[in-house]
Chains A and B, each alone.
Chain A
């Protein structure tokens, strides 16, 4: 009876969680699809290589060794815990207990493999515990500067703490489950860490141990489901999106900024007096130069925004930020994501159709003009990002809109443009004097 009740509860909880998770991930996917198309599928070999090295292999993390090692603990722990999760899942839907163990119990090689795997999960979990505590320590006690910048006030800090505490909770569950299970079976499984921990419970009754095992088992599974549902609302989504984001990262040199083909066409018409422009379509929407809102950005910029885990390596390396300017590349990514969430929610509330809300990604509580103007385009943020996000690409697209649609430029830039147009140099020197250096 209890067995069938547990199966029923397991399936019900799983179904509810999957439903909400599906809605969460679908929302993220649909929002990313609001971006403009951009073909990023060339050179698949290079793309696989980037994904394997940078996402799977954590290559760029190792520029900062200490956080990289701590992060590696969590990453490896997360990856191999999936094996135990598989058994939890199979046990849950079949109402059995350690189904994989019992299947291999009498097969020495596979049994050793199983015990070895669970033991390594336990060891990894101890390392995850160390990593998680160290991360909480770095953020809240050491107050590492990049983890305590103004853009993190409010939900972002809460989100970070939630994830770290949830990880500790999951570890407690795993160890309660395995330790009680070991104590109940006189240590016959032989798991590495719980065989030590089980000594703490030698005087517990059979019932207490059974309850502890069940609490650990259910607590772990419910925690995992909660994680799954929470993930698409959290910066922690990077654990999934780091993979597509590195795969689809642009392969051009960092110095390359795309040329706008619509402007090339217009200038070629201007330069060729015999050309006749194609008839204008009176129903066409006015052309948009650069990006004013999230829908004007490429889908890759939007994927970048959802991939960002707010680590702030970009902001710590940003020359403008480190000299006290308002610009923070991380805030560019966070604002893009937050505005995208707002637009996505408005579209959903309006039956799938976008109705202009009079706001945009520039100002309106999002990215300010002052931030955009502070960028030196030095690419330090792009270089630092461990998952190949480009805040610079968004900054440049927003700058284009400010200049070409809003004519919003500092006075010095306006005269610079005029000089460039009139005398082919950013300063007011005559083009006829270009060779004067040779006569000095």
Chain B
């Protein structure tokens, strides 16, 4: 699978349909890289002309902004906007809710106006248009999937149904946790908590959330955010349930359903 950058498209005088915003986790975190590849495979399989910024992409600035460092955030944001406006980017799809939120809500007043979609919404659109057809759903038969709402997709932008609609395609039982949708419990990573030790307390937030997930007796915890994915994977490990309960991104599950990915349940 050849991944083309926006620079390569521009050099060839072509315009891609979408910019796939990979994000820092998707680029560097080994677990999140798998999600990036799974999503790229879906796009590739559907012959969607997509580009990445590659080495021209930098962090959107989200963790700095939420930590309180507006200066670092805007420095990165203005650089990214300069690059994207230079290429004439119109439509962005990203697999990270933090990138999605900041690109959609906070970039416009800095001069970055794009149509921004999270991959949950994009995958739902592709399913609705009949472009994604799942041929390989046998492995999901009789399985239970519980979806964990990412704060930045859910409460922050009120996207609750798209990821669930995507998961419904898998022919598995979709079960809800005690707190879900607008009342979904945070995984503990947001607000730059991912990058520091917890403040003193009696429990880690990801443990509290994993408890809720395990209560559902699900075989699969579906995430739509690389940070939630890490937090829940760690949580499942701390209960030593990693052999029975797997954490996957919705893109990995769909790619598996299309026969593009071989995931082990």
User: Which A residues form the contact surface with B (CB < 8 A)?
Assistant: 63, 252-257, 259-260, 263-264, 266-268, 270-271, 289-290, 317, 319-320, 322-327, 370, 373-380, 382-383, 396, 398-404, 409-410, 412-413, 416-417, 420-421, 424-427, 429, 431-438, 440
Interchain CB contact under 8 A, A380 and B208: no
Among A63, A271, A370, A376, find the residue whose CB has the most chain B CB atoms closer than 10 A: A376
Complex interface: chain A residues within 8 A of B33 (CB): 437, 440
Q: Tell me whether A434 and B70 are in contact in the complex, defined as CB-CB below 8 angstroms, given that A255-B152, A320-B199 are known contacts.
A: no
Within 8 A of A (CB), among B133-190: 151-152, 155-158, 182-183, 185-186, 188-190
Taking beta carbons and an 8 Å cutoff, which residues of B are in contact with A?
A: 1, 3, 5, 22, 24, 26-28, 33, 36-37, 40, 52, 54-55, 57-59, 61, 63-72, 74-76, 78-79, 82, 101, 105-106, 109-110, 151-152, 155-158, 182-183, 185-186, 188-205, 207-209
Chain A nearest CB from B107 CB (Å) reads 9
In whole angstroms, how far apart are the Cα atoms of A260 and B75 in the complex?
12
B109 neighbours in A (Cβ, 8 Å): 259
Judge whether B67 and A401 touch: CB under 8 Å.
no
**Cα-based distance from A134 to B69 in the complex (angstroms):** 46
How many angstroms between the C-alpha atoms of A22 and B159 in the bound complex? 46
Contacting residues, chain B, for A434 (C-beta < 8 A): 22, 27-28, 54-55, 57
**Which residues on B sit within 8 Å (CB–CB) of A375?**
191
> Chain B contacts of A382 at CB under 8 A?
155
Checking A257, A373, A400, A425 against B59 with a beta-carbon cut-off of 8 angstroms, the contacting residue is A425
- B109 closest partner in A (C-beta): A259
A190 to chain B, nearest CB (A): 47
Contact of A253 among B158, B185, B202 (CB under 8 A): B158
Contact of B67 (CB < 8 Å), options: A268, A326, A413, A425: A413
Assembly CA distance A399 to B157 (angstroms): 23
B40 touches which one: A253, A290, A424, A438 (CB < 8 A)? A438
Are A323 and B205 in contact, CB atoms less than 8 angstroms apart? yes
Q: Give Cα distance in the complex from A324 to B52, angstroms.
A: 42
Instruction: Give the distance to chain B from A294, nearest Cβ to Cβ, in Å.
Output: 18
Chain A, residue nearest B185 (CB): A319
Given A403-B67, A416-B67, A438-B3, residue A370 in contact with residue B195 (CB < 8 A): no
Return 20 A-B CB contacts under 8 Å, by A number.
Answer: A253-B158, A255-B105, A255-B155, A259-B109, A260-B74, A267-B78, A270-B75, A290-B70, A320-B199, A320-B201, A374-B201, A378-B186, A399-B66, A399-B68, A424-B57, A426-B24, A431-B55, A433-B27, A433-B28, A437-B37
Give the distance in Å from the alpha carbon of A256 to the alpha carbon of B103 in the complex: 10
Q: Which 9 A-B pairs have the closest CB atoms?
A: A255-B156, A424-B58, A399-B68, A324-B202, A377-B191, A324-B201, A378-B186, A403-B68, A438-B3
The chain A residue sitting closest to B62, CB to CB, is A426
Q: Which chain A residues border B24 with CB–CB below 8 Å?
A: 424-427
- Alpha-carbon gap, A221 to B197, bound state (A): 57
Q: With the chains together, A255 CA to B67 CA distance in Å?
A: 14
**Residue of A with least CB distance to B192:** A413
A266 to B74, CA, bound (A): 10
B110 CB to nearest chain A CB (Å):
6
Bound complex: CA of A181 vs CA of B203, how far in Å?
A: 60
A378 touching B106 in the complex, CB below 8 Å, given contacts A400-B68, A416-B67, A434-B55:
no
A383–B198 alpha-carbon span in the complex (Å) = 23
Quote the shortest CB–CB distance from A315 to chain B (angstroms): 14
Q: Taking A323-B204, A376-B205 as contacts, is the C-beta distance between A317 and B70 under 8 angstroms?
A: no
Q: Are A378 and B22 within 8 A (Cβ)?
A: no
Instruction: State A313–B195 Cα separation when bound (angstroms).
Output: 28
Look across to chain B and name the residue whose beta carbon is closest to the beta carbon of A325.
B201
Considering the chains assembled together, what is the distance between the CA atoms of A290 and B192 in angstroms? 17
Decide yes or no: A377 and B151 within 8 Å by CB, A263-B70, A434-B57 being known contacts: yes
Query: Cβ of B199 and Cβ of A426 under 8 Å apart?
Result: no
- Whether A267 and B71, one on each chain, are in contact in the complex, defined by CB atoms closer than 8 angstroms, is yes
Contact B75 A437 (CB under 8 A): no
Residues of B within 8 A of A325 (CB): 198-201
